[in-house]
Amino acid sequence: MRLYPFFCTMKLLIDYLSALVTQERMQVLERVSQNRTRHLTVVLEDIFQPQNASAVLRTCDCFGIQDVHIVENTNEYNINPDVVLGASQWLSIYNYNTQKENTSTALQALKSEGYRIVATSPHAEERSLEKFDVTAQKTALVFGTELTGISETVNEYADDFLKIPMFGFTESFNISVSAALILQQLVSQLRDSDIDWRLPNDEREALLVDWLLKTVKHSDKVLRRFYKEHPDFTPLT
């Protein structure tokens, strides 16, 4: 996401860009931004089937999850456009792929931001989905690779474990199905609660600017024109 100064109000830039889109489009952007959350985030660890990870991104967008963290240890993630259907452009995606082992880097970063690390596992005995309280603390849900699930590193960092009750012979759901089931339950719980789960206003406005720039044609030229007309608005580099 681009960074912009806040000493010159974001609203000035939002108003400028919103004049270049239809009123209906702006209403959609406003509505969606008001329903975004960072109280709940998703971590995908070493997913090797692009369609699965892409389906999770699409689910995150549908449920208003803004941030997705993608850990690439042995498997490189590539978006499947036929599955994600453009959802990834509206999300804030963080990739961890610069080291041999990137899981600890991702989880340490999330813990430093106040997130509780919650590993999803069909073998977890600690807490079932219907008994999990997502309102207690910011939560990072970790989904592991398709074949072996979460890694030992996730096990070590996890503050809690979460499982979906199952009653059949099959041991686990597909990762994209698991993500959809868990997020539907937890997002509903979050929205029914009294906690302030929405984005702070400054983060929401920054998101609106980013989305508007992805919507407006020739946005680079539009920005240059804006800076020329508003010389006090200096972009951060």
Beta-carbon contacts of residue 62 (< 8 Å; ≥ 6 apart): 87
Amino acid letter, 38: R
Is 164 annotated as belonging to a binding site? yes
* Rounded Cα distance, 188 and 171, in Å: 26
Is 79 annotated as belonging to a binding site? no
Q: Which of 76, 116, 97, 90 is nearest to 29 (CA)?
A: 90
Q: Which of 113, 106, 97, 107 is nearest to 158 (CA)?
A: 107
Q: What is the DSSP letter of 65?
A: B
Q: What is the DSSP letter of 96?
A: E
* Rounded Cα distance, 68 and 70, in Å: 6
How many C-beta atoms lie closer than 10 Å to residue 25's C-beta? 15
Q: Where are the alpha helices (DSSP H) in 77-230?
A: 81-84, 103-112, 152-157, 175-192, 201-215, 219-229
Beta-carbon contacts of residue 105 (< 8 Å; ≥ 6 apart): 96, 99
Annotated binding site: 120, 164
Annotated binding site for S-adenosyl-L-methionine: 120, 164
